[in-house]
Structure 1
Amino acid sequence: MSWLTETLTSTPGRKVIMAATGIFLILFLAVHLTGNLQLLKDDNGESFNIYAEFMSTNPLIQFVSKGNFFFILLHVVVSVFLTRKNQQARPVAYKVPVKSGTSSLSSRNMGILGTVILVFLIIHLKGFWYEMHYGEIPYKNYDGHEARDLYAVVDAAYSQWYWVLIYVVSMLAVAFHLSHGFQSAFQTLGMSHVKYSPAIKLLGIAFSILVPAGFAVIPIVMFFN
């Protein structure tokens, strides 16, 4: 188990963990968005409720979901260790500020962006995940198939302007976080080459724009509808 201890305690090992968990969470975001877009179907929530019921009762999906919580926690904990390590390595700040051209705005503020996202996740889990598992949500019958009316919970939340604002601002933080984290994760895992690095960078930019925008559009459309 020495290799595991070394991985968890060394800076390179922790960076690999950050990259691997980051890629897993990137994939999760893509899948999660696909399901959430069911909210915009004009069927009074039937598509989303059936989708949500399947996701919450399928054993394989639930196993992956538990793994997702673990990877989020691991990603947060390791990021804290790396941040503290960097601070200890240079306890005194640079007298001359680093030129903005040497690093992006998102890369210089990953800690702040990560904190905003973590707060958002807590709010999100309390408002939806907790209600789904422990709230008193009525069931609806769809051609003999019963599903909890989770659409009503989401619709009630997105009818409040401040919830919409929270989600849109949080998605902006996610976008900036991804704009640096996407490419950085692949680079950390050794996927850096003059031939395909530009493609990874382009894919990262597209992903960091389209996916958060997709999440942000949902509460906006539901609010105005």
Structure 2
Amino acid sequence: MSELKQTFNSSLGKKLIMALTGLFLSVFLIVHLAGNLLLFSNDNGYSFNMYANFLTHFPPIEVIAYILYLCIIVHTIYAIVLTTINRKARSVDYAVHTKSPVSFSSKNMGLLGSIIFLFIVIHMGDFWYKYKFTHTVGYKEYRTNLLTGERTATEFTPEKPDFEHSQTFEGNTEITRVKDLHARVASSFSMLWYVAIYVIAMVALSFHLKHGFQSAFHTVGWVHRKYKPIYEFIGTWLFSVIIPLGFAAMPIVYYIQSLGK
């Protein structure tokens, strides 16, 4: 047990924790993006609101969510610790300097991570916290004709303050009442300053993932020449291009739509 503790207290152990939590967060980004793409469904927010309701009322997902929060905190703490250690190690200048190229991402991981962490705090405060713990998010009532598939959406005001969601039937009509997170998202994305913060954070995320994803594989020792091109391709195109672009597209599209209203 003491050897295990000593291993994780070492510099290599800290990097290993950073790598594992980082890879977990990378997988989460794929799932999160897939769910958020429901914002582009032209159904008065039905798909996205049902998705948000599922995430906050399905126990296994709730457990995974708390693991996610823990990983974010641990990843951030160890990043600060490693950055501090590296800066102290560089306090004594070298007699000879190497001219090996260092990428922008590698040199600025601390700055990029700080921007992303600040964004997460703002983002979760505006959506997750208000959705779960306040009454600032409204409600939507969806009436779906089960025979024709036609659906209507109207505002809904619950009689009880602790109301969460409900599903009832009137003949062939399904009546679903849920919190309207879609309206909250549309409202936030109609503000230029919020859109700017979101896009800047996605640019930071792109550079952060470009270095971090590949670095994580090096840390855990997966550097075989047979697999290196695969995770480098995934890290470059999926994590540093497609995922940040997918997230950034949401506030941009909603902001443009808000200008026409």
Flag whether TM exceeds 0.5 (same fold). Answer: yes
Cα drift, residue 60 of structure 1:
0.5
Deviation at 1:159, TM superposition (A): 0.6
Q: Mark the runs of 5 or more structure 2 residues left unpaired by the alignment.
A: 143-173
Deviation at 1:144, TM superposition (A): 2.4
Amino acid at match of 1:19: A
Q: Size of the alignment, in residue pairs?
A: 224
1:219 equivalent in structure 2? 251
* Bigger fraction of residues in strand: 2
Higher relative contact order (CA 8 A, sep 6+): 1
Are residue 176 (structure 1) and residue 175 (structure 2) matched?
Answer: no
Q: 1:110 to 1:122 in 2, by over 3 A?
A: same
Aligned amino acid, residue 173 of structure 1 = A
Structure 1 runs, 4 residues or longer, greater than 4 Å off: 93-98
* Structure 1: stretches of 5+ with no match in the other structure: none
Cα offset for 1:79? 1.0
Please say which of residues 187-196 and 210-219 is displaced more in the overlay: 187-196
Shift in Å, 1:27: 0.3
Aligned counterparts of 1:148 and 1:154: Cα–Cα separation in 2:
12
Pick which of 55-64 and 1-10 moved more.
1-10
% identity of equivalent residues: 44
Once the two structures are TM-superposed, the CA of residue 37 in structure 1 deviates from its matched residue by: 0.7
Contact 1:159–1:222 (CA under 8 A) maintained in structure 2: yes
Separation (CA, whole Å) in 1 of partners of 2:51 and 2:233 = 32
| Whole-angstrom distance in 2 between the partners of 1:222 and 1:10 | 46
Structure 2: distance between partners of 1:117 and 1:98? 31
1:190 aligns with one of 221, 232, 236: 221
> Which residue number in structure 1 is paired with residue 134 of structure 2?
135
Tell me the residue number matched to 1:121: 120
What is the CA distance between 1:3 and its match in structure 2? Answer: 3.6
Largest Rg, 1 or 2: 2
> Which is helix-richer, 1 or 2?
1
Aligned partners of 1:97, 1:178: CA distance in 2, in Å? Answer: 28
- How far apart are the structure 2 equivalents of 1:56 and 1:189? 33
Distance in 2 (CA, whole Å) between partners of 1:106 and 1:154 is 30
Partner of 2:56, secondary structure, is: helix
Distance in structure 2 (CA, Å) of the matches to 1:158 and 1:56: 22
Pair 1:112–1:59, CA change in 2 (3 A): same
Match of 1:86 in 2: 86
Counterpart Cα distance in 2 of 1:139 and 1:65? 23
My pick for the range that moved more, 38-47 or 1-10, is 1-10
| Structure 2 residue identity aligned to 1:65 | A
Task: Give the secondary-structure state (helix, strand or coil) at the position aligned to 2:244.
Answer: helix
For residues 220 and 98 of structure 1, the distance between their equivalents in structure 2, rounded to whole angstroms, comes to 43
Q: CA RMSD in A?
A: 1.5
